[in-house]
Amino acid sequence: MTTLGTGPAGANGAELSVITPVYNESNNIEALLTRLVPVLERCAASFEIIFVDDGSTDDTLDCLRAAHHTDPRIRALSLSRNFGKEIAIAAGLDHAKGAAAIIIDADLQHPPELIETFVARWREGYKNVFAQRIDRTVYTPFRRILTQRFYKLFGSVGDIRLPEGAGDFRLLDARAVAALRAMREHARFSKGLYAWIGFKSIGVPFDVEARVHGVSKFSYRKLTHLALDGLMSFSTMPLKVWSYIGSATSLLALTLAAVYLTRTIILGVDVPGYASLIVSITFFSGIQLLSLGIIGEYIGRIFAEVKRRPLYLIEERVGIGSPVAADSLARIQTG
């Protein structure tokens, strides 16, 4: 059972559970621990660091085993394949028994020193303390523009409001963790889920640092997929918009019909019109296929959810037991 509320320590004795998803990050682990461990020792009575190895193909898992051997507070879960960062975080949250959980990337783009401020805010009573990027210049201008456009679009069609510059780097009180644990959706857009759960939240500004080793694991294809998951999990606008487009085109068709009818009555039948016919047929076929495609995207996501497959499979546990028992929703809702 999770300890709910900001108690001094979680069920396994650790006050803080730090979750780090790792995918081929063997070069970064030592550097991260060198900076992270002293910070945690300064600001928490006790802690555990849960690395979630997201199907790495390098020697990440060996590094984690070695790290656990020298410091048993460092633990690891190894997933059976690469499930993606969002699912890796979900696996970590399922196993986080601390009175608060902290999510941090392994590549040191998230400065571990900020955790001290997170913990201070948590002790003041905040349950959802998120780092807020004020400078993203480490990412390419193209990625920054796309990110900006996405958040603008999400802001206008999404059902929830995402705080600007907030990502996965954050502290979540055990109650917020329990709420996230109850959400078993496969198309996970964590940033949306963090905002959806609410709780007393506060942002802590920071500058994203450059990656220490390696390159970003997010290709533009993965980022597009994540953006679509985000939009479709938190908005039905892409579905609804077709009724407006349909109404507008029907109205246009009726007006055209009236115009042509009047013209034919006055001027007689006019045979030419082949080009306009072809153009309008192809244009409207395109629109219809596009709307079907969007409906298909939603159906595909419904299909993925109704299969009710487990979110992830664990191949190996390093110093870590079974997940926290599913909290009853009633307990989360009533506190």
CB of residue 54 to ligand UDP, shortest distance in Å = 4
User: With CB cut-offs between 5 and 8 Å by kind, which of ligand UDP, Mg ion, none does residue 91 bind?
Assistant: none
Count residues near Mg ion (CB under 5 A): 2
Give the DSSP per-residue string, 281-294: HHHHHHHHHHHHHH
Task: Give the per-residue contact string, 178-217, with ligand UDP (x = CB under 6 A; - = no).
Answer: --------------------------------------xx
CB of 12 or CB of 82, closer to ligand UDP: 82
Choose between 109 and 128: whose C-beta lies nearer to Mg ion.
Answer: 109
Residue 155: half-sphere exposure toward Cβ, Cα within 13 Å: 9
| Full DSSP string of 208-243 | PPPPSSS--S--HHHHHHHHHHHHHHH--HHHHHHH
Out of 105, 173, 229, 327, the only residue in the binding site for ligand UDP (CB under 6 A) is 105
Report angle CA 105, 110, 111 to the nearest 5 degrees: 130
Residue 48 engages ligand UDP in binding (rule: CB under 6 A): no
Q: Rule CB under 6 A: is residue 26 a binding residue for ligand UDP?
A: no
CB 140, min distance to Mg ion, A: 13
Q: How far is the CB of 105 from ligand UDP (least distance, A)?
A: 4
Residue 235 tokens read as: 């908005």
Residue environment code for 31-58, b if the CB has 16+ CB neighbours within 10 A, otherwise e: ebbeebbebbeebbebbbbbbbbbbbee
Q: What is the C-alpha separation between 157 and 231, in angstroms, rounded?
A: 8
Q: How far is the CB of 17 from ligand UDP (least distance, A)?
A: 16
Q: How far apart are CA 137 and CA 95, in angstroms?
A: 34
Which residues 108-147 are close enough to bind ligand UDP by CB under 6 A? Answer: 109
**Which partner from the list ligand UDP, Mg ion, none does 2 bind, CB cut-off 5 to 8 Å by kind?**
none
Residue 146 contacts residue 223 (beta carbons within 8 Å): yes
Asked whether the beta carbons of 85 and 23 are under 8 A apart, the reply is yes
Q: Which of 238, 290, 160, 211 minimizes the C-alpha distance to 151?
A: 160
- Contact call for residue 107 and Mg ion (CB under 5 A): yes
> Of 210 and 290, which CB lies nearer to Mg ion in the complex structure?
210
Among 18, 99, 106, 176, binds ligand UDP (CB under 6 A): 106
CB 270 within 8 A of CB 276: no
Residue of minimal Cβ distance to ligand UDP: 216
Alpha-carbon dihedral 263, 269, 270, 271, rounded to 10 degrees:
150
CB of 25 to ligand UDP, least distance (A): 5
Looking at beta carbons only, is 126 or 312 nearer to ligand UDP?
312
The residues that touch ligand UDP, with contacts defined as CB under 6 A, are 21-23, 25, 54, 82, 84-85, 88, 105-107, 109, 216-218
The footprint of Mg ion (CB under 5 A) covers 107, 109
